[in-house]
Amino acid sequence: MITEPSTGCQTAADGAAYFCDYVTWIVKNDPTFGATADERWSNFKTGGFQIYTTLNPQLQANAHETMTEYIPASSDELDLGSTIVTVEPGTGRILAMAQNKNYVAGDTTDPGSTSLNYNTDQGYGGSTGFQVGSTYKVFTLAEWLKQGHTLSERVNGNPQTFKRANFTNTCADVSGPDYSPSNDSGERPGTISVQTALTDSVNNAFFAMAQKLDLCQIRNDAQALGVHRADGAELGSDLADVIGTQTIAPLTMAAAYAGIAANGIYCKPIAIDRIVDATGAQLQPPQAGCTQALDPKIAATLAYAMKGPIQSGTATASNPYDDIEHIGKTGTTDNEKDTWMIGASTKAATAVWVGNVSGDVSMTDVETNGYSGYSVRHRIWKSVMTANDEVLPGAADFPDPDNTLVYGSGSSSGSDSGSATNTPTPTPAPSIQPTPTGVAPTPDPTVAPPAGDNGTGTGIVPGIGNGNGGN
Tell me the CA distances in angstroms from 166 to 143, 208, 396, one per residue in order.
Answer: 18, 10, 42
Nearest 10 degrees: Cα torsion 126, 128, 132, 133: -160
Range with the poorest average pLDDT among 43-47, 236-240, 297-301: 43-47
Evaluate if residue 186 carries a pLDDT over 90: no
Under 8 Å between Cβ of 23 and 125: no
Report percent pLDDT > 90 for the chain.
79
Residue 46: what pLDDT? Answer: 85
Evaluate if residue 467 carries a pLDDT over 50: no
Evaluate if residue 441 carries a pLDDT over 60: no
Residue pLDDT, tens place only, 278-315:
899 999 999 999 999 999 999 999 999 999 999 999 99
Helix orientation angle between 17-29 and 37-46, rounded to the nearest 10 degrees? 120
Residue 440: what pLDDT? Answer: 40
> Mean pLDDT, to the nearest integer, of 171-187?
92
Under 8 Å between Cβ of 97 and 119: yes
> Mean pLDDT, to the nearest integer, of 168-180?
95
Residue 392: what pLDDT? Answer: 97
Domain spanning 52-407: CATH 3.50.50.60 = no
**Residue 104: how many other CB atoms lie within 10 Å:** 17
Evaluate if residue 404 carries a pLDDT over 90: yes
Evaluate if residue 453 carries a pLDDT over 80: no
Residue 7: what pLDDT? Answer: 64
In the chain, what are the domain boundaries? 52-407
> Mean pLDDT, to the nearest integer, of 4-27?
87
Residue 34: what pLDDT? Answer: 86
Closest by Cα among 49, 144, 136 to 340: 136
Give me the half-sphere count of Cα atoms (radius 13 Å) on the Cβ side of residue 328. Answer: 33
**Residue 108: how many other CB atoms lie within 10 Å:** 13
Evaluate if residue 452 carries a pLDDT over 60: no
Evaluate if residue 221 carries a pLDDT over 80: yes
* Amino acid letter, residue 266: Y
Residue pLDDT, tens place only, 112-121:
999 999 999 9
